[in-house]
Amino acid sequence: MVFLIGDSTVKYDAGNGEDNKWGWGSYLQNYFDTTRISIENCALGGRSSRTYFTEGLWDRVLPAIKPGDYVLIDFGHNDGGPMNTGRARASLRGTGEESQKVVMERDGSTEEVYSFGHYLRLYIRQAKAKGAHVIVMSHTPGNRWTGDRMNRCDQTYGKWSKEVAEQEGVGFIDLNDRTAKKFEAMGKEKAAAYYGDFVHNTQEGAVLNAESVVEGIRSLTDCDLKNYLK
């Protein structure tokens, strides 16, 4: 079994193409021999590395994980913004173990907020404790450009995802860079058709991201998941 955890760029809404927007997780199964392995897309829109945990979503996934399963992690798009007001989903920037106590505007409760890297480590270590293999990804690129170059997250969430994956000894796929290079090759105008807004992809964009994930899996050394690819 392959479990996907992440946000709307992995599974948009119910995963049925609402508003002509799709996540790459809806298409990943097309590249696998599903008679031998199945894909469980457990991502949920609007979640950050922090709120996927604090809302209990991870607690629903973890009991189902068996030895030999795979967990693919893709967060970062929603980890900025306010920590305790509005959607209140931000994690602290970076990979450190510092934390900050906040009072939540919605109900006056207190929460200790940790870094992006802290939450990634939590998923990785708990999945590994169940005997699973873990692959961390940098998040999908948004449709934002500087000249002819698509903006990367290589100084923020992509960088931190890679650092944590290396520290924890798990696989890392630079999905952000792999897909951005494809869009740069076709140019800004053509790339626009692969997006439903600045972040979410159309079906074509989701397929392109799924292909980048598959290429990344093939490129990993010591990763048996590639043996299940078509």
Q: What is the structure's pLDDT at 30? A: 98
Torsion of CA 207, 208, 213, 219, to 10 degrees: 130
Residue ranges of the chain with pLDDT lower than 70?
none
From CA 171, how far away is CA 106, in angstroms rounded?
A: 37
Q: What is the structure's pLDDT at 159? A: 98
**173 phi, psi to nearest 5 deg:** -120, 125
- Overall number of domains in the chain: 1
Q: What is the structure's pLDDT at 12? A: 98
CATH of the domain at 176: 3.40.50.1110
Give the pair of three-digit tokens for residue 209: 């991201």
Q: What is the structure's pLDDT at 194? A: 98
Domain extent at residue 116: 2-228
Q: HSE on the CB side for 32, CA within 13 Å?
A: 23
Give the closest residue to 160 by CA, choosing from 120, 216, 127: 120
Q: What is the structure's pLDDT at 112? A: 98
From CA 138, how far away is CA 154, in angstroms rounded?
A: 8
Q: What is the structure's pLDDT at 69? A: 98
Q: What is the structure's pLDDT at 178? A: 98
pLDDT digits (tens, 9 = 90+) for 14-39: 999 999 999 999 999 999 999 999 99
Instruction: Give the count of beta carbons closer than 10 Å to the beta carbon of residue 30.
Output: 13
Q: What is the structure's pLDDT at 124? A: 99
pLDDT digits (tens, 9 = 90+) for 139-150: 999 999 999 999
**2 phi, psi to nearest 5 deg:** -115, 120
